[in-house]
Amino acid sequence: MKTLDTIGSTIYKKIKNDIIFGKLLPSEKLKLDDLKSKYPASLSTLRETLNRLASEGFVLAEEQRGFFVTPCTQNDLIEIANLRILLESHAINLSFKYGDTDWEGNLVAAHHKLSLMEERMEKKEKGIIELWKQYDWEFHLACISACGSKNLLRLHSNLFDRYLRYQFVVLNYRGQGAIEEHYEIYQAGLKRDAAKANKYLKIHIDKGVENALVNFS
């Protein structure tokens, strides 16, 4: 039997994923009664979940008006991208310095899984986009996992998820360019060349933003 904490955690993950993957649309009003029919939880659990997501930037909680999915804006994307570059670059500097053999093995494995998934994306295989983004996340996490700071990893995780939402709303798969950038970051990791990794990380994120801005209506 699931405990209330387990139910709350499950509902939180489900609603958050539905926001990230665009199943709950930007600026969509989140009515508690409607959510209750879709997500098996009490109104109090749903309210607590939405307040938690509001504190993380995925939901807007407006007095008198209720809850809304946070809208997608060009300025918000640019700010999130710049913060991600700042945090991830700092984490790479630390991780490349302190990462041990196990860290290096995890990096190799993460890039291998991502590269196989990118091959499938290049073939335009359907139904794998969420898995592709999972492996993308695992690769970027592997790069910074030895940074030695739980707070830094927590902040980065939030920014990555908020950036990820834009990928599903306005970004397209960039194909060979993104593949090459991942490869350069990976090779830099094996050589412990943080400066090179950060150079390609900035290119990687900036190109993604550039691609997204074209698709904003």
Reported confidence tier of residue 7, pLDDT bands at 50, 70, 90: low
200 and 111, same structural domain? yes
Residue, of 215 and 156, whose pLDDT is higher: 156
136 and 91, same structural domain? yes
153 and 52, same structural domain? no
Share of the chain above pLDDT 90, in %: 72
6's CB contacts (< 8 A; 6+ apart) are: none
134 and 80, same structural domain? yes
Which residue type does 98 have?
Answer: Y
For 26-40, what is each residue's pLDDT tens digit?
A: 999 999 999 999 998
206 and 142, same structural domain? yes
- The CATH number of the domain holding residue 111 is 1.20.120.530
Q: What is the pLDDT of residue 5?
A: 57
58 and 36, same structural domain? yes
Question: Which of 69, 91, 114 delimits the end of a domain?
Answer: 69
Cα gap 132→137, rounded to integer Å: 9
Query: Is the per-residue pLDDT at 12 higher than 90?
Result: yes
Reported confidence tier of residue 126, pLDDT bands at 50, 70, 90: confident
For 41-90, what is each residue's pLDDT tens digit?
A: 889 999 999 999 999 999 999 887 899 999 999 999 999 999 999 999 99
- The CATH number of the domain holding residue 35 is 1.10.10.10
87 and 23, same structural domain? no
78 and 65, same structural domain? no
29 near 39, Cβ under 8 Å? no
100 and 34, same structural domain? no
Cα gap 140→159, rounded to integer Å: 12
Cα gap 38→42, rounded to integer Å: 11
The pair of three-digit structure tokens given for residue 182, joined into one six-digit string: 């991942």
155 and 113, same structural domain? yes
Question: Which of 69, 94, 111 delimits the end of a domain?
Answer: 69
**Domain of residue 200, residue span:** 74-215
Query: Is the per-residue pLDDT at 93 higher than 80?
Result: yes
94 and 61, same structural domain? no
Q: Which of 34-38, 43-47, 125-129, 169-173 has the lowest mean pLDDT?
A: 169-173
93-119 mean pLDDT? 97
Question: Which of 38, 69, 100 delimits the end of a domain?
Answer: 69
H or E segment and range at residue 150? helix 150-169
123 and 51, same structural domain? no
- How many separate domains does the chain show? 2
Select from 208, 159, 174 the least CA-distant residue to 20. 159
